Amino acid sequence: MKILLVIPPNSQEVRYGKFSSIGTLYPPLGLAYIAAVLEKNNHKVRVIDSEAMNYSYSDIKKIVKMFNPDMVGMSVYFNTINRCYKVAELIKKINGNIKIVLGGAQVTLDSNIIKDDNTDFGIYGEGEISLSKLINALENKSSLEKVSGLIWKRGKKLIVNKPCTLVQNLDELPMPARHLFPIIKYHSSANLRGKRTLNIMTSRGCPYKCTYCAGSLIFGGTYRYYSTDRVIEELRYLKEKYNVDDVQFYDETFTANKDRVIDLCDKMIKNNLNIEWSCFTRVNLVDPELLKKMKEAGCYQIFYGLESGVQRLLNLIKKGITIEQSRKAMKWTHEAGIETWVSFMINLPTETKEETEQTIRFALEVDPNFVQFPITTPYPGTEMYEQAKKSGKFLTDNWDKYTSWDVVFVSNGRTPEEIRETVKRAYRRFYLRPSYMIRKMRSVSKLPLSKTIRLASAFLSSFV
């Protein structure tokens, strides 16, 4: 079967707002894994990453006519739903027999996404096994009812099959099919440091159940990981094939298993990979010993989701951390010589103006190298969405607005204007401190002048 995987047209401006000039664009590993499995099963696969290639809908139309696929797959996020629907519509106009399959986190959260007239199937949960079974069923003209993880239509009725079994041994999966993607078009803030960077996943899932996150629904609350030998093999491949000297570990919670991370770090050092790296993790899953080892192995930056400076709100969103754990983790990370990039969610359900102010003060106290203050967007299907409905109101059902800088929800007693102004003020208070500006000027002084100006302009544009 000929299968086309499509990332619909988008832009850095839509994805990152005023931070677009320093925004990150990595290969979508979810689609890359799917593509690898499909190729392994002898299907002919092509990928259109419209965002990376700056393709229009007309460009997609031309490629579809030329490639003439049997199936088109797209991964859906709430703020890309309308663009996915538009792609599906143009494809059906070209050839109504082409099957349209949607997957991704939002299909798992809300099966109604598949009700669109131009959409044939949805895959919820992990995609590799379910999509392969769907293709086999279509090729063999067998029953769709036995395809686990599938959402399909019987007339106008939506049928949701039982969940698919998760891949138990991740090492059995082929490496992501990066060769199908325009690797030279991807970038991150690491490029400002003169590095060639790509992303890699060493695990799937997260053992925590934050109310705003879809991860536990997709992966069933499980945490599975690749063997450290497999990770080293992929790192070596990235270095040899793409000349990578910087990677971002894309795991949801990189340090969930301390012993495994130490083993991986030891092997990175032993193999003399000379790769610098960053990761995402939680403040309750680091300690001085681990951070020292990570630094020795090349870690230069950790992203922590501190989310709030108010314990009541951390408890409400089931973050599973304390304010004191955040303080200690930030202190230990800086002492280890590792940069911190921290996120604080503004406008959580039931959050008051005073609590927002408390969070901003806490951000100033822990003093990360970089901070972001995303405006909370509760997604349908998450527990936070239900919390939000009880404590405030939603202002729009336009999925295009479901970003981290548009206000789609307000808690009782607050207004969109006040929230937007509060976020601007938070950025100004953090980044325009004289002590911070002096420190950052020193840290960026090694960058080329053009990149230094680009970095400074991106931050300053967010404060006005």
Helix (H, G, I), strand (E, B) or coil at 333: helix
Q: Give the pLDDT of residue 278.
A: 96
Condensed to tens digits (0 to 9), the pLDDT of residues 323-354 reads 999 999 999 999 999 999 999 999 999 999 99
**Rounded-to-integer distance, Cα 444 and Cα 464, Å:** 22
% of the chain with per-residue pLDDT over 70: 91
- pLDDT over 80 (residue 390): yes
Instruction: Measure Cα distances from 264 to 176, 215, 233, 273, 340 in Å.
Output: 20, 24, 11, 12, 21
Instruction: Pick the more confident residue, 183 or 78.
Output: 183
**Rounded-to-integer distance, Cα 190 and Cα 177, Å:** 23
Instruction: Pick the more confident residue, 401 or 447.
Output: 401
Superfamily of 2-160 according to CATH: Cobalamin-binding domain (3.40.50.280)
For the segment 254-274, the average pLDDT, to the nearest whole number, is 98
- pLDDT over 60 (residue 61): yes
- pLDDT over 60 (residue 190): no
DSSP string, 88-147: HHHHHHH-TTSEEEEESHHHHH-GGGGGSTT--EEE-S--HHHHHHHHHHHHHT--GGG-
Q: Are 231 and 264 in contact (CB under 8 A)?
A: yes
Strand 299-307 and strand 276-281: the pairing is parallel
Q: Give the pLDDT of residue 299.
A: 98
Q: Are 268 and 232 in contact (CB under 8 A)?
A: yes
- pLDDT over 70 (residue 67): yes
DSSP H stretches of helix in 349-433: 353-366, 383-391, 416-431
**Domain 188-388: which topology?**
TIM Barrel (3.20.20)
Q: Give the pLDDT of residue 446.
A: 52
Residue type (1 letter), 142:
S
Q: Domains of the chain: which residue ranges?
A: 2-160, 188-388
Q: Are 48 and 177 in contact (CB under 8 A)?
A: no
Condensed to tens digits (0 to 9), the pLDDT of residues 400-437 reads 888 888 999 999 999 999 999 999 999 999 999 998 88
% of the chain with per-residue pLDDT over 90: 81
Condensed to tens digits (0 to 9), the pLDDT of residues 205-214 reads 999 999 998 7
Q: Give the pLDDT of residue 356.
A: 98
Share the mean pLDDT of the chain.
92
